[in-house]
Amino acid sequence: MNSIIFQPIGVIHSPHKKLEQIPIQPVFARGIQGTIDIFPEFYEGLADLDQFSHIYLFFHFHESNQTKLRLKPYLQDKLRGIFATRAPHRPNKLGMSLVKLTKIEDGTLFIEDVDILDSTPLLDIKPFIKRFDIQENVRSGWQDAVTDAEAAERGYRDYAKKPKS
């Protein structure tokens, strides 16, 4: 099948300058703010987006230079199939984050709960829509076996670590 070629539509800015310090999902990045500079040729496409409280960002894991079909996810010390994880080292290095949108000004989006590396190329934005995106009776596999406390401990990684007293 043919290759598919995408072009960035903007750049994501965040306080996360190092891969190893990024909280692993937006839920562990509560309150962390970032911005997105959309390229001017796409400004028109942002109309009506500021009515949405939450948006999905799709981006390129631009610092992932390897592919692993099985790996140990950050939240658990067991090998898992890559498609059963959100890890970056996937066959196509497509990242997704669900973040809060607080404001749009002159083509800059202000976002919260940011778990994305600074300078990441943005590929697409989709609105989070209650009617479509909230599911019931969900079974989340190995993730369900990770307790909330354990997830929090591992999920924040080095970001929220305080010096031990």
Q: For residues 120-139, which are near its own copies according to CB under 8 A?
A: 121, 123-135, 137-139
Give the phi and the psi of residue 141 in degrees, each rounded to 5: 50, -135
Question: 68: alpha, beta or left, given left = phi > 0 and alpha = psi -120 to 50?
Answer: beta
Question: Does residue 40 interact with its own copies by CB under 8 A?
Answer: no
13 bridge partner residues: 35
Stretch in the footprint of its own copies (CB under 8 A) among 14-22, 50-58, 157-165: 50-58
By beta-carbon proximity to its own copies, the closer residue of 148 and 163 is 148
Distance CA 84, CA 22 (A): 20
By beta-carbon proximity to its own copies, the closer residue of 6 and 164 is 6
Q: Residues 9-28 vs its own copies: string with x where CB under 8 A?
A: x-x-------------xxx-
Please report how close the Cβ of residue 20 comes to its own copies at its closest, in angstroms. 20
Question: Does residue 65 interact with its own copies by CB under 8 A?
Answer: no
Residues in the chain, how many? 165
Give kind and range of the element (H or E) at residue 144.
helix 141-144
Stretch in the footprint of its own copies (CB under 8 A) among 15-23, 48-56, 157-165: 48-56
Q: Which of 58, 64, 85 is nearest to 142 (CA)?
A: 85
